[in-house]
């Protein structure tokens, strides 16, 4: 006969490390591209919420912009004035962004009349801030 039988070669001959190596590499890639940046973002958000003070303009999770009039540290509540005479108590965790007013140092101008300075996550105008692949996708240097 001209045809010889073909025998399948077994995969089970390798050790355990080489069989789990692709799974380990996928986890490492997920850590650096997904988990680590998310942890960094959460840490920055917690620090931003810890620095909220009276007079800051805040954006709530519901899309309401208001001015902080009172910070209650013991209960994690913040009193926000959303309109003239309308004050609401919100939880500090529902604040999604903080805008503060910086005073101008020019002669004769009243403090607090400067343009708003963005403190929170929108401080980079929505563009990537660099990072691992930020240079490839238009991040700042």
Please report whether residue 128 resides in a domain. Answer: no
Residue 5 lies inside a defined structural domain of this protein: no
Question: Residue 73's pLDDT band (boundaries 50, 70, 90)?
Answer: confident
Residue 3 lies inside a defined structural domain of this protein: no
In a domain, 114, yes or no: yes
Whether residue 59 is contained in a domain is answered as yes
Domain that holds residue 26: 16-121
Element of type H or E holding 117: strand 116-118
106 vs 94: CA distance, rounded Å: 36
Name the burial class of residue 95, with classes exposed (0-12), middle (13-18) and buried (19+) by CB atoms within 10 angstroms of its CB: buried
In which residue are the tokens 């939880």 written?
A: 91
The secondary element (H helix, E strand) that includes residue 87 is: strand 86-91
pLDDT, one tens digit per residue, over 102-111 is: 554 444 434 4
pTM above 0.75, yes or no: no
pLDDT tens-digit series, residues 119-137:
555 555 555 455 666 655 6
Residue 6 lies in a domain: no
Point out the least confidently predicted range of 7-21, 58-72, 83-97, 117-131: 117-131
| Exposure string for 30-53, b = 16+ CB within 10 A, e = fewer | eeeeeeeeeeeeeeebeebbeebe
Residue 130 inside a domain? The answer is: no
Cα separation, 67 vs 55, whole angstroms: 6
Would you say residue 133 lies in a domain?
no
pLDDT per residue as tens digits for the range 32-66: 999 999 999 999 999 999 999 999 999 999 999 99
Number of folded domains in the chain?
1
């Amino acid at each position: 006969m001209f045809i010889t039988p073909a025998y399948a070669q077994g995969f089970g001959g390798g050790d355990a490390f080489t069989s789990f190596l692709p799974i380990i590499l996928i986890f490492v890639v997920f850590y650096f591209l997904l988990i680590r940046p998310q942890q960094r973002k959460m840490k920055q958000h917690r620090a931003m919420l810890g620095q909220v003070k009276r007079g800051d303009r805040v954006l709530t999770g519901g899309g309401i912009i208001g001015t902080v009039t009172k910070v209650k540290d013991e209960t994690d509540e913040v009193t926000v004035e959303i309109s003239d005479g309308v004050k609401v108590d919100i939880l500090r965790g529902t604040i999604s962004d903080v805008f503060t007013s910086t005073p101008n140092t020019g002669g004769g101008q009243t403090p607090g009349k400067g343009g708003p300075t963005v403190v929170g996550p929108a401080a980079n105008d929505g563009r990537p801030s660099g990072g691992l692949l930020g240079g490839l996708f238009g991040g700042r240097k």
